Amino acid sequence: MTAAQISSTHPGFDVELVESEGLVEVRLSGTLTFVDASSLWDELQARITPKMPEAVRFDLSAVESIDGGTMALLVQTKWDLQTEGGTCDFVGATGHVQKILDLYEGDAKPNKRPKQKARSAIAQLGQATADSFYEVQLVLAFLGRMILAIGGVIRRPSTGNWREIAPLMNRTGADAVPIVLLINFLIGFVMGFQSAVQLKQFGANIYVADLVGLSITRELGPLMTAIIVCGRSGAAFAAELGTMKVSEEVDALRTMGFGPWRYLVIPRMLALVLVMPILTLLADLVGICGGLLVGILSLDLTITAYLNETRNALHMWDIFQGLIKSGVFGFAVGLIACQQGLATSGGAEGVGRRTTAAVVTSLFALILIDAGFTMLFYVLHL
């Protein structure tokens, strides 16, 4: 016996809910198209809840026509009910409606999503270690392909994308000059102030020039410049190549006969290797100027005395070892950024993930390379 009967009419189709003891029957009639899907979905969601105790039955016997979008919504409603433990069925479908129902597997049971089990700390550590080794393998494989590409360009220089180097140097070098000058000036300024407090106690004000000059030219100048270039140009390279990879532009280059290593990677790496020493020299100069400002304002030194002490403390090798580091830093940033960019997959999310990985990996590599150079120069007494 019918306990409740609710009906509603829409342009093109009708919905009638007949509620009896233990059963809710949804009678659909008319033509159901995707244009009507929104109103049908809102009505079903308002009257049918996944946790309702009654069984639900969709009667499609009066449906004249239905398209795939609307059928997908009906199937999703059924699966939501069955996932929560309820009972739901389609009845009365014939002809074209039955074919659409079979196409969308309306009579199939929903697959329960497997519950994710929490992994232990040891399992997570092991997975992270395995992922790290895999990334190292990818970098080494990329380096091997890079060496082969460089060999090919040396044998046939006309195959290199030389015209791209100058614009890239302008982007990575000239455009980075203001931020490089500002950061390194402040580094020299801060170092001068930090050392001034201790030097004043011993009357060794003049030695602030030695401290700032040596630390800037040997370590901080090339390292801070590399960190700035990593966050600025390295991230840009990874994002550019990653976007090209997910949009299949790299595959298009291969189809046209342009190797991605020769056409995309080599110009970017050469640009970084060439501009890094120039940026480092500018960083050394402004870093020393920052210490000079502290010497004048806080330590009662003259410009002549400060510059003479800096000249006596510094040797050509102090500057040259910083330039060597900067060239290697540029190569490492370019290599990692391009490798991460060409390893991108998974659309926009993959681009963001690989760009982040490029910056983090490059920073770690810079510190590791700097520590290696420091130990090497110490062992060789340089």
* Residues 238-249 pLDDT 10s: 999 999 988 888
Q: Regarding beta strands 2-10 and 23-32, do their DSSP bridges make them parallel or antiparallel, or are they unpaired?
A: unpaired
- Tokens 């990996």 correspond to 361
Q: How many CA atoms lie within 13 A of 150 on its CB side?
A: 13
Chain-centroid distance, C-alpha 90: 46
Crossing angle for the helix pair 121-155 and 316-342, nearest 10 degrees?
Answer: 110
Which of 71, 73, 85, 63 has the alpha carbon at shortest distance from 14? 63
9-51 confidence digits (pLDDT tens): 566 677 777 777 777 777 878 887 777 777 777 777 777 766 6
Chain-centroid distance, C-alpha 151: 30
Locate all alpha helices (DSSP H) within the chain, ordered by sequence.
37-47, 68-83, 95-103, 121-155, 165-172, 177-201, 208-215, 221-229, 235-246, 249-255, 260, 266-298, 303-313, 316-342, 347-379
Whole-number pLDDT of residue 376: 92
CB 286 within 8 Å of CB 240: no
**What does residue 248 show for φ and ψ, rounded to 5 degrees?**
65, 20
69-89 confidence digits (pLDDT tens): 788 888 887 777 777 777 777
88-101 confidence digits (pLDDT tens): 778 788 888 888 88
Residue range 147-163: mean pLDDT, rounded: 86
pTM: 0.70
Give how far Cα 124 sits from Cα of 354, 360, 364, Å: 20, 20, 21
Whole-number Å distance between alpha carbons of 48 and 225: 63
Where exactly are the structural domains of the chain? 2-103, 145-379
Beta bridge partners of 90: 58
Residue range 182-206: mean pLDDT, rounded: 87
| pLDDT of residue 269 exceeding 80 | yes
CB 188 within 8 Å of CB 216: yes
Whole-number pLDDT of residue 6: 52
CA–CA–CA angle 30, 31, 33 (5° rounding): 145
Whole-number pLDDT of residue 2: 46
| pLDDT of residue 278 exceeding 90 | yes
CB 79 within 8 Å of CB 110: yes
Whole-number Å distance between alpha carbons of 284 and 217: 5
Whole-number pLDDT of residue 112: 64
| pLDDT of residue 4 exceeding 60 | no
228 compared with 57, residue with greater pLDDT = 228
Whole-number pLDDT of residue 78: 79
Q: How confident is the model at residue 135 (pLDDT cuts 50, 70, 90)?
A: confident
Give the whole-number percent of the chain exceeding pLDDT 90: 34
CB 68 within 8 Å of CB 103: yes
Instruction: Give the CATH superfamily of 2-103.
Output: STAS domain (3.30.750.24)
Amino acid identity, position 50: P
Indicate the average pLDDT of the chain: 85
DSSP 8-state code for residue 381: T
Residue range 299-305: mean pLDDT, rounded: 88
Residue range 215-219: mean pLDDT, rounded: 92
Whole-number pLDDT of residue 147: 87
Q: Regarding beta strands 55-66 and 88-91, do their DSSP bridges make them parallel or antiparallel, or are they unpaired?
A: parallel
Burial of 266 (0-12, 13-18, 19+ CB in 10 A): buried
Residue range 194-201: mean pLDDT, rounded: 83
40-73 confidence digits (pLDDT tens): 777 777 777 666 667 787 888 888 888 887 888 8
